[in-house]
C-alpha cells in the first residue's frame, strides 16, 4: 500500500523540517536530513521521505505491514522512539538521546527502571580505541536495549544507581516504509539506482547516497531518456529484500544498476563490480572513472556489503554494482559520531553526481554500428573528417577516434568496447561516431538484428 505520510515523526527529529524552502544543493539536503533519527522502520524514514518528496514530487511512498513474509525474511515490528536518557542518583542526565540520537542502541526495547553501575554497564557500548566518539550500534532482530557513548564518558560513570528510560515502541501492527521513483524513458528497460535510508545521524554513510540519488534524479528528469530510471530509497538489507519480493516482474526489466553510498567523505572513488563482473554497467563505470583521471579503485564482487548483495543474489543475479568513495569499515569515522556534517564535503557530492551522470550517458549512448565503407580506409579528407575536425582541439586523439570507430564498427563492438580497446575517452568516441554517421559512413545496428 502507499502512504500519505500521515504518521508524525518523533519530536526529537523535528528540527529537520524547519526549513520553509528546500536547500538547493546536495549538501543542503544532507544538512536538513542529518538531525532525523532513522531506523529500518518508523517515523524517521517517513519524515525523510516526506522531505525528499519536496525535491521529487513523483516519489511514491510504500508501506509494507509488519509481519509480511518477504523472501526468506519477515517485515519486523515498527520501531519508534520519543526519548531516552540515563540519570544518576541526583537526577542529572549522564546520557541523553536528545543530545545525539546515536546515544541509543537502535531498535532498543522500552525500559523504565533503576540499575546498578555494573548492571547498566552490560547495556553500554563504547569504543576504547576511539574514546571521544559515540558508536552507532543496532539490534534489529534480537530484543535488547542499550546506550552508546564516548568511552571516556563511560569510564567516568561512578558507582551507584542509575535511572534508565527508553521511551520507545515496537508495533507489530506497524509497517516498513520505502520510497520509489520511476522516470519513464522511451524503453521499458530500466536502470536501477538504490540507496539506503535507515541510518540516523550519519552524514556520509546514508545521507550522501540519498543526496546524490536525489539530485541525479532531478538532473535526469530534465533530459530525454532511452532507459527508464528507477530510484529506490530503502532501509538497508530488509528494504531491498522487501522490494525484490514485491517486484518479481519489475526485475526482469533491469538492465543496469548501481548502489549509491559513502560518496561525500574523503578518499578515492571505489567501484565494486556486480556479481556478473563484466556487465555493461561494470564496464561503463570503469571507463568513466578512467576518463575522469581521478584516482580510483575497481574491486571484484563480494557477497558482503550494501544492498548490491541482495540484487546480486544468485536467484536474481541483477547487473548491479556499488559506487562509493572509501568503502565501509575502511575509514575511522565509519559508524561513529565523527561521520558528521564536517566529514562530508560539498564538492565531493557534486563530483559524485557528475560521475553518475556520465555513467548514465555511456549507458544511454552506447550503440553498435556497421561501417558502410569497410573495404580499405574511406577517404576522410573530402568528407571533412581528416585533421582539424571539431576545431582541432583533440588533434591526434580526434583522428585516432575516427579511425578506431571505423575499424571496430563491425556490428560486434559497441562504442563502449571501442573506448575500452582504444584507451580513448568515451565522449571522444561518441563524437567520432556521430561525425561518421552524419557522413553516411556508419549505420546503426539494432540489438534485435545482431
Query: 85 lies in a domain?
Result: yes
| Residue 383 confidence (pLDDT) | 86
| Residue 343 confidence (pLDDT) | 98
Q: Kindly report the three-state secondary structure assignment for every residue of the chain.
A: CECCCCCCCCHHHHHHHCCCCCCCCHHHHHHHHCCCCCCCCCHHHHHHHHHHHHHCCCCEEEEEECCCEECCEECCCEEEEEEEEEECCCCCEEEECCCCHHHECECCCCEEEEEEHHHHHCCEECCCCCCCCCECCECCCCCCCCEECCHHHHHCCCCCEEEEEEEEEEECCCEEEEEEEEECCCCCCEEEEEEECCCCCCHHHHHHHHHHHHHHHHHHHCCCCCCEEEEEEECCCHHHHHHHHHCCCHHHHEEEEEEECCCCCCCCEEEECCCCCCCHHHHHHHHHHHHHCCCEEEECCCCCCCCHHHHCCCCCCCCEEEEECCCCCCCCCCCECCCCCCCCCHHHHHHHHHHHHHHHHHHHHCCEEEECCCCCCCCCHHHCCCCCHHHHCCCHHHHHHHHHHHHHCEEEEEHHHHHHHHCCCHHHHHHHHHHHHHCCCEEEECHHHC
CATH of the domain at 249: 3.40.630.10
Query: 1 lies in a domain?
Result: no
141 with 19, same domain? no
211 with 312, same domain? yes
235 with 225, same domain? yes
281 with 403, same domain? no
360 with 381, same domain? no
Q: How many Cβ atoms from other residues are within 10 Å of residue 383's Cβ?
A: 15
| Beta bridge mates, 171 | 78
Say what the pTM is.
0.92
188 with 148, same domain? no
Short-list 201, 193, 197, 259, CA closest to 227: 193
287 with 430, same domain? no
Query: 6 lies in a domain?
Result: no
CATH of the domain at 382: 1.10.10.10
Q: Does the annotation list 335 as a binding residue?
A: yes
| Residue 20 confidence (pLDDT) | 43
120 with 248, same domain? no
Query: 5 lies in a domain?
Result: no
Beta strands at 228-234 and 269-272: parallel, antiparallel or unpaired: unpaired
Grid coordinates representing 360? Answer: 548514465
Q: Quote the domain boundaries for residue 332.
A: 11-75+175-364
Phi first, then psi, for residue 228 (nearest 5°) are: -90, 140
50 with 85, same domain? no
| Residue 23 confidence (pLDDT) | 60
Short-list 81, 82, 45, CA closest to 61: 45
Query: 318 lies in a domain?
Result: yes
Last residue of a domain, one of 171, 190, 224: 171
| Residue 6 confidence (pLDDT) | 32
227 with 335, same domain? yes
Over its length of 450 residues, how does the chain's per-residue pLDDT go in tens digits? 443 333 333 334 433 333 445 568 999 999 999 999 999 999 999 999 999 999 999 999 999 999 999 999 999 999 999 999 999 999 999 999 999 999 999 999 999 999 999 999 999 999 999 999 999 999 999 999 999 999 999 999 999 999 999 999 999 999 999 999 999 999 999 999 999 999 999 999 999 999 999 999 999 999 999 999 999 999 999 999 999 999 999 999 999 999 999 999 999 999 999 999 999 999 999 999 999 999 999 999 999 999 999 999 999 999 999 999 999 999 999 999 999 999 999 999 999 999 999 999 999 999 999 999 999 999 998 888 876 545 544 578 999 999 999 999 999 999 999 999 999 999 999 999 999 999 999 999 986 544
Query: 418 lies in a domain?
Result: yes
CATH of the domain at 166: 3.50.30.90
Query: 414 lies in a domain?
Result: yes
Last residue of a domain, one of 119, 147, 171: 171
Answer yes or no: are the C-beta atoms of 85 and 165 closer than 8 Å.
Answer: yes
Short-list 41, 54, 39, 47, CA closest to 13: 47
Q: Does the annotation list 152 as a binding residue?
A: no
Counting the structural domains of the chain, the total is: 3
Query: 167 lies in a domain?
Result: yes
Last residue of a domain, one of 171, 204, 224: 171
| Residue 386 confidence (pLDDT) | 75
Grid coordinates representing 401? Answer: 577516434
Sign of CA dihedral 296, 300, 304, 309: positive
165 with 229, same domain? no
Q: Rounded to an integer, what distance in angstroms lies between the CA atom of residue 193 and that of residue 324?
A: 13
| Residue 13 confidence (pLDDT) | 42
132 with 279, same domain? no
Amino acid at each position: 500500500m502507499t502512504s500519505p505520510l500521515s504518521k508524525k515523526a518523533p519530536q526529537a527529529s523535528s528540527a529537520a523540517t524547519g526549513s520553509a524552502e528546500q536547500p538547493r544543493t546536495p549538501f543542503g539536503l544532507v544538512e536538513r536530513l542529518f538531525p532525523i533519527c532513522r531506523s529500518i522502520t518508523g517515523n524517521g524514514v517517513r519524515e525523510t521521505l516526506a522531505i525528499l518528496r519536496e525535491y521529487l514530487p513523483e516519489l511514491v511512498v510504500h508501506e509494507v505491514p509488519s509481519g509480511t513474509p518477504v523472501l526468506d525474511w519477515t517485515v519486523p515490528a515498527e520501531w519508534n522512539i520519543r526519548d531516552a536518557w540515563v540519570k544518576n542518583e541526583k537526577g542529572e542526565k549522564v546520557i541523553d538521546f536528545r543530545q545525539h540520537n546515536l546515544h541509543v542502541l537502535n531498535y532498543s526495547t522500552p525500559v523504565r527502571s533503576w540499575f546498578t553501575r555494573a548492571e547498566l554497564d552490560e547495556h553500554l557500548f563504547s569504543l576504547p580505541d576511539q574514546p571521544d566518539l559515540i558508536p552507532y550500534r543496532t539490534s534489529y532482530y534480537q530484543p535488547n536495549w542499550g546506550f552508546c557513548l564516548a568511552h571516556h564518558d563511560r569510564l567516568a560513570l561512578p558507582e551507584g544507581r542509575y535511572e534508565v528510560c527508553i521511551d520507545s515502541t515496537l508495533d507489530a501492527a506497524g509497517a516498513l516504509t520505502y520510497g520509489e521513483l520511476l522516470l519513464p524513458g522511451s524503453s521499458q528497460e530500466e536502470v536501477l539506482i538504490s540507496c539506503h535510508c535507515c541510518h540516523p545521524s550519519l552524514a556520509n554513510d546514508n545521507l550522501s547516497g540519498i543526496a546524490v540519488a536525489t539530485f541525479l534524479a532531478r538532473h535526469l528528469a530534465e533530459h530525454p531518456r532511452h532507459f527508464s530510471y528507477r530510484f529506490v530509497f530503502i532501509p538497508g538489507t530488509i528494504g531491498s529484500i522487501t522490494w525484490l519480493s514485491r517486484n518479481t516482474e519489475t526485475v526482469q526489466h533491469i538492465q543496469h544498476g548501481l548502489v549509491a553510498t559513502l560518496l561525500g567523505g574523503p578518499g578515492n572513488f571505489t567501484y565494486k563490480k556486480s556479481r556478473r563482473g563484466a556487465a555493461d554497467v561494470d564496464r561503463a563505470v570503469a571507463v568513466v572513472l578512467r576518463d575522469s583521471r581521478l584516482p580510483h579503485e575497481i574491486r571484484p564482487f563480494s557477497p558482503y556489503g550494501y544492498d548490491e548483495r541482495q540484487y546480486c543474489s544468485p536467484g536474481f543475479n541483477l547487473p548491479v554494482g556499488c559506487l562509493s568513495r572509501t568503502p565501509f569499515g575502511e575509514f575511522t569515522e565509519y559508524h561513529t559520531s565523527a561521520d558528521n556534517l564536517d566529514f562530508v564535503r560539498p564538492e565531493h557530492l557534486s563530483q559524485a553526481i557528475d560521475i553518475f551522470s556520465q555513467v548514465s550517458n555511456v549507458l544511454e549512448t552506447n550503440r553498435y554500428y556497421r561501417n558502410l565503407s569497410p573495404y580499405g580506409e574511406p577517404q576522410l579528407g573530402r568528407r571533412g573528417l581528416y585533421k582539424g575536425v571539431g576545431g582541432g582541439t583533440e588533434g591526434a586523439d580526434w583522428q585516432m577516434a575516427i579511425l578506431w570507430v571505423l575499424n571496430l564498427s563491425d556490428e560486434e563492438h559497441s562504442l563502449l568496447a571501442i573506448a575500452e580497446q582504444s584507451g580513448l575517452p568515451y565522449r571522444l568516441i561518441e563524437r567520432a561516431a556521430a561525425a561518421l554517421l552524419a557522413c553516411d559512413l556508419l549505420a546503426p545496428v539494432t540489438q534485435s538484428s545482431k
